[in-house]
Structure 1
Amino acid sequence: MATQISGLDDVLRKMQAIGNQKIIKRLARKAAREAINIVRDAARENAKAIDDKKSSEKIWKNIVSRSGKISNKGAVRERVGILGGASFGDGKTAIITKKEYKSFVGPISSSTVIGLTGGDTRHWRWIEFGTSEQAARPFMRPALSENTDKVTDKFVQSFRRELDAVLGVIK
């Protein structure tokens, strides 16, 4: 999802004044992380609202934001996702809560056990997208679509602040 932002001539001048691509990328990554955390927090709130109180698994506890690699060396990638993914994998890996993981002793080796804060929440995709027998109750997609403007504004604000801080040190 690419977004074009206009009216940032002063930001481009500041980036040229810094001149070091590594510093600029570090600042952009920090600003992007601050911005994407808005989506992460909204997704957590949405997941809490539909959480099954009878279940020990808590989807909202496994929602995280992460940096990602991208082939374009000058670009920054941030994403929001759910730990444990959406796959039931090879059938050899068990997912339990971190609390259970600390005292795990079982018939399978601990290398095939993953401890996640919210427990085994790989069923999230059935809630998000629905099934043939269950209507969808999306919580991830609205978190992004309802906060796009906030995320963009936060990124611009944070990036400008970081650029000004670095330029203050350079001068």
Structure 2
Amino acid sequence: MGDYVRFNLKGADELSARFKGLTEEIRRKVVLPAAKDAMDIVLLDAKDRAARIDDPETANFIPANLAMIERKAIGEEVGAVVISVGVRMRKRGQKGGNTFYWWWVELGTEKNRAKPFLRPALANNREALFKEFLSSAKYQLIKLGVN
């Protein structure tokens, strides 16, 4: 099972106060695009890191299979918006090919050392991710006309 990262946003008191007065539907309209904008930073960094690691001699290409998806079932379970960046499983012959081996690259094996590209993409961009989330959430509030 994947690692979960949970943070408490500090310095976002103004945004938090606005959120408490909103309906669940409006909150979702603000948080979902803001979370996608923020996680796009992680996605782009992960693609860059994977491109530097991936073997150019093979037909399969891990960066082409990296994607960002909303985890609705988990989000409903925890009562939040959950956005995930990971590697899609594709069939041979499709864009990027079948990169079933990506977790062996990320985590390593007993014979090959790990060459992580997803975990550092998140770890090195935490501050930028939260700044982007806050600015995007404020923009979404203004766009919806919420004071």
TM-score (normalised: structure 1): 0.76
1:34-67 CA-partner distances (Å, limit 9, x unpaired)? 1011111110000100111110100000000100
Runs of 4+ aligned structure 1 residues displaced above 6 Å come to none
Find the residue that maps to 1:95 and give its secondary structure: coil
Find the residue that maps to 1:49 and give its secondary structure: helix
1:66-93 CA-partner distances (Å, limit 9, x unpaired)? 00122133x1100101001xxxxxxxxx
More strand by share: 1
- 1:136 Cα offset (Å): 1.1
More helix by share: 2
Q: Cα distance 1:130–1:72, how it changes in 2: closer, same or farther (>3 A)?
A: closer
Which residue, out of 34, 37, 52, partners 1:34?
37
Letter in 1 for 2:84: R
1:72 aligns with 2:50: no
Q: Which residue of 2 is the match for residue 136 of structure 1? A: 114
Q: How many residue pairs are counted as aligned between the two chains?
A: 140
Letter in 2 for 1:6: K
1:121-168 CA-partner distances (Å, limit 9, x unpaired)? 01111111111111111111111111111111110110011112212x
> Could you say what the CA RMSD is over the residues aligned between the two structures, in angstroms?
1.7
Higher CA-based Rg: 1
- Whether the aligned pair in 2 keeps the contact of 1:59 and 1:82 (CA below 8 Å) is yes
Superposed counterparts of 1:1-171, under 5 Å: 1-17=5-21, 19-69=22-72, 70=75, 71-73=77-79, 75-84=80-89, 95-98=91-94, 117-167=95-145
Q: Give 5+ residue unaligned stretches, structure 1.
A: 85-93, 99-116
Letter in 2 for 1:164: I
Between 62-71 and 7-16, report the one with greater CA deviation: 7-16
Q: Give 5+ residue unaligned stretches, structure 2.
A: none
**Following the alignment from structure 1 to structure 2, what is the Cα–Cα distance between the partners of residues 21 and 47?**
37
Find the residue that maps to 1:97 and give its secondary structure: coil
Find the residue that maps to 1:65 and give its secondary structure: strand
- 1:16 Cα offset (Å): 4.3
Quote the sequence identity (%): 28
1:91-118 CA-partner distances (Å, limit 9, x unpaired)? xxx82132xxxxxxxxxxxxxxxxxx21
Letter in 1 for 2:63: W
Find the residue that maps to 1:79 and give its secondary structure: strand
- 1:12 Cα offset (Å): 2.9
